[in-house]
Each structure stands twice: as structure tokens, then as C-alpha cells.
């Protein structure tokens, strides 16, 4: 299967190791991975902050950049949800009557479990790991237990359960900028729950949330590091 990587601009700019991990993982599973160089932002921040014309332009660009691929895979539940849920709305809001079908975009764990039918990807990661279900993965995509099924199959990995794991970390895209006090309070609760589970590593499927959590953990000098799930599955986290 010829798979296109939609790395997401946040990852491309700040966490390129995540994109490289996705490529190594999918190639290890026997798939060719392409990186359409014309890809840009999905338009989420433009759409949610009222820049609708600019968001529609990015939606058009996304469809053009990824046309013709068998599947599109992204290590960002947030951006996958934006493409699937909002791109058609962006184009309609811009006055386009004949909106083309949205390209099939899969969040990484959806692609592994639902499309490829695998949970054991041959990874090894001998650490105690807690999984944080981000809001977009849990509520917008309905990722369910797919990430946990993948983690349970990783050799040497010990899962640690975070109390109240379903609660938001407080990032929420521009929410953290507009509502800093609430965002910091939510992060403090999340970090308190994480520290009670005593993991070595906290993982998730959105680096934006991990950056927020990681910053709070770092300020407390907790010794707990954050890592995208893709980097564990690719065997990069040892």
C-alpha cells in the first residue's frame, strides 16, 4: 500500500522525530511511505479563530497535495479530526457549492488497528508508560482503546493508569492562549494525576498536548518525560 504521511505543521516545526518514527514504523510493516512536499497546515487554528477564508484555502491545498494516494496517515488526532470534520464546512463557508469528497485521513492508531489489522508492530520499549487520551483522539475521533491495544503489545512495556485520564490537559489549541489561567489549572490537575501513577514516560497521539503536559512536568522537575506514541511503536524510545 502506498501511504502518504500528513505530518502536521506542529510536528514538522517542533517534533520532526515523530514524523520520522511514523515512516520507520510503516516501512517496517512493509509499506511505501510518500511525503507530499506541497502539504501545509490543515487550517485548524485559522478556522477556530475566525480566519475562514484562509482556512478554506488551506483545505483546498490539502486536497490537491494528497490527491491520488491509497491512504493518508497522520500522527495528529487533532489535525485528522479537522480534515474529516471541518474541511467540507470550511469550503461551504467560502461559498463553494460542489465540495469535493474529503481525502481519507487516518490517525496513526486507527490506520494500524483498523486498516492494517495489527496491534503487535514488533516494538520494544522497557519502560513504565502512561497513556493520555487527548480530547480530539477520544472525543472527536473516538479512538477508544486502539492506542492501549498497541501499547499492550510492546515488549517490555509496563502500562501505568492515569486517574481521571479522560480529563483535558488544558491545551486545546488557542484555548491555552486565550484562557491561560484555566489552562494552567487543568495542566496542574493532569500532572498531579500523572505523578500519582509514577510512570517513566507519558505518551499520547497529539504532540500539542504532550508539549503542554511536558512543560508542566518539567517545571516540577518530575523526571517524567513525554513521547509521542509513534516513537514508542517505532522502537525509538529505549
Tell me the percentage of the chain whose pLDDT exceeds 90: 86
Q: How confident is the model at residue 177 (pLDDT cuts 50, 70, 90)?
A: confident
What angle do helix axes 207-219 and 180-197 make, rounded to 10 degrees? 80
- Greater model confidence, 104 or 103: 104
Across 92-119, average pLDDT? 90
pLDDT tier for residue 76 given thresholds of 50, 70 and 90: very high
| pLDDT single digits (tens) 185-218 | 999 999 999 999 999 999 999 999 999 999 999 9
What is the distance between the alpha carbons of residues 189 and 102, in angstroms, rounded to a whole number?
37
Q: How far is CA 237 from CA 63, 72, 153, 172, 188, in A?
A: 33, 25, 15, 26, 25
Residue 68: its pLDDT value, please? 86
Radius of gyration of the chain from its Cα atoms, rounded to whole angstroms: 18
pTM here is 0.92
Q: What confidence score (pLDDT) does residue 188 get?
A: 95
pLDDT digits (tens, 9 = 90+) for 128-155: 999 999 999 999 999 999 999 999 999 9
Q: How far is residue 19's CA from residue 214's CA, in Å, rounded to a whole number? A: 19
Task: Report the candidate in 2, 52, 62, 8 with the shortest Cα–Cα distance to residue 30.
Answer: 2
As given in the structure block, the three cell numbers for residue 61 are 491545498
Average pLDDT rounded to a whole number, residues 100-121: 92
Amino acid at each position: 500500500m502506498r501511504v502518504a504521511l500528513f505530518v502536521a505543521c506542529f510536528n514538522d516545526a517542533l517534533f520532526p522525530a515523530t514524523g520520522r518514527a511514523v515512516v520507520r514504523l510503516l516501512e517496517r510493516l512493509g509499506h511505501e511511505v510518500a511525503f507530499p512536499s506541497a502539504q501545509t497546515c490543515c487550517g485548524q487554528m485559522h478556522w477556530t479563530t475566525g480566519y475562514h477564508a484562509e482556512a478554506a484555502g488551506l483545505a483546498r491545498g490539502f486536497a490537491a497535495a494528497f490527491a491520488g494516494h491509497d491512504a493518508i496517515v497522520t500522527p495528529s488526532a487533532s489535525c485528522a479530526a479537522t480534515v474529516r470534520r471541518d474541511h467540507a464546512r470550511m469550503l461551504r463557508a467560502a461559498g463553494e457549492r460542489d465540495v469535493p469528497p474529503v481525502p481519507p485521513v487516518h490517525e496513526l492508531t486507527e490506520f494500524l488497528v483498523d486498516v492494517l489489522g495489527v496491534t503487535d508492530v514488533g516494538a520494544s520499549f522497557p519502560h513504565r508508560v502512561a497513556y493520555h487520551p487527548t480530547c480530539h483522539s477520544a472525543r472527536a475521533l473516538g479512538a477508544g482503546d486502539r492506542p492501549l491495544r498497541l501499547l499492550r503489545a510492546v515488549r517490555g512495556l509496563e502500562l501505568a493508569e492515569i486517574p481521571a485520564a479522560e480529563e483535558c490537559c488544558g491545551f486545546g489549541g488557542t484555548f491555552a492562549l486565550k484562557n491561560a489561567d484555566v489552562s494552567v489549572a487543568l495542566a496542574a490537575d493532569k500532572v498531579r494525576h500523572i505523578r500519582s501513577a509514577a510512570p517513566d514516560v507519558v505518551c499520547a497521539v497529539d504532540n500539542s498536548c504532550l508539549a503542554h503536559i511536558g512543560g508542566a512536568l518539567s517545571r516540577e522537575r518530575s523526571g517524567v518525560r513525554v513521547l509521542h506514541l509513534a516513537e514508542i511503536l517505532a522502537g525509538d524510545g529505549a
